[in-house]
């Protein structure tokens, strides 16, 4: 059955006339998605050159040393290396990754000259774009939150 909506209501002392018209309301989910896309459309989701270089380094290290990172980290590095735009959800996951793994910097083998350099944690960090990736993801999430506040 085709949905209809009220187009006009006319009221007199004796009658009320309601005029209906065809209706094709957009589902609420589509409207929300459209608003979210509009909110982030001005944000640049392209990885920086420094992130690309760090992801390439991480992939090289992982191949050379046979450690560091997960399948997700490797996939992230490939996306970054290819310079592909990152989705808003991926930027949020990157921010979360860096927050959870900041502690890895305290481990042995994080810095050049230490035994075990590069450590598995250092390699994984590189796969996600390194310090440049962390700064970039934090900035993007902040921009998205700001855009959301403006639209609400």
For residue 7, the model assigns a pLDDT of 63
For residue 42, the model assigns a pLDDT of 80
**Contact criterion met (CB below 8 Å) for 110 and 119:** yes
The residue ranges of the chain whose pLDDT is under 50 are: none
What DSSP state is assigned to residue 141?
H
Element (H, E) at 21: strand 16-22
For residue 146, the model assigns a pLDDT of 87
Distance CA 38, CA 1 (A): 33
For residue 147, the model assigns a pLDDT of 82
Distance CA 119, CA 61 (A): 10
DSSP secondary structure of 55-104: HHHHHHHHHHHS-S--HHHHHHHHHHHTTPPPPHHHHHHHHHHHHHHGGG
For residue 149, the model assigns a pLDDT of 77
Residue with tokens 């002392």: 13
Residue 71 has which token pair? 């399948």
For residue 150, the model assigns a pLDDT of 73
Express each pLDDT in 117-127 by its tens digit. 999 999 999 99
Residues 89, 146, 128: CA angle, nearest 5 degrees: 35
């Amino acid at each position: 059955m085709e949905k209809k909506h009220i187009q006009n209501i006319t009221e007199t002392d004796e009658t009320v006339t309601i005029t209906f018209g065809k209706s094709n309301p957009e589902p609420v989910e589509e409207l929300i998605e459209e608003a979210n896309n509009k909110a982030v459309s001005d944000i640049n989701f392209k990885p920086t050159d420094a992130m690309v270089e760090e992801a390439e380094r991480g992939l090289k290290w992982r191949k050379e040393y046979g450690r560091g990172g997960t399948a997700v980290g490797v996939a992230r590095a490939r996306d970054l290396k290819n310079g592909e735009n990152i989705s808003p959800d991926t930027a949020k996951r990157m921010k979360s990754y860096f927050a959870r793994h900041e502690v890895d910097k305290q481990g042995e083998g994080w810095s050049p000259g230490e035994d075990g350099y590069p450590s598995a944690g250092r390699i994984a960090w590189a796969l996600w774009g390194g310090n440049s990736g962390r700064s970039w993801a934090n900035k993007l999430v902040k921009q998205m939150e700001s855009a959301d506040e403006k639209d609400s």
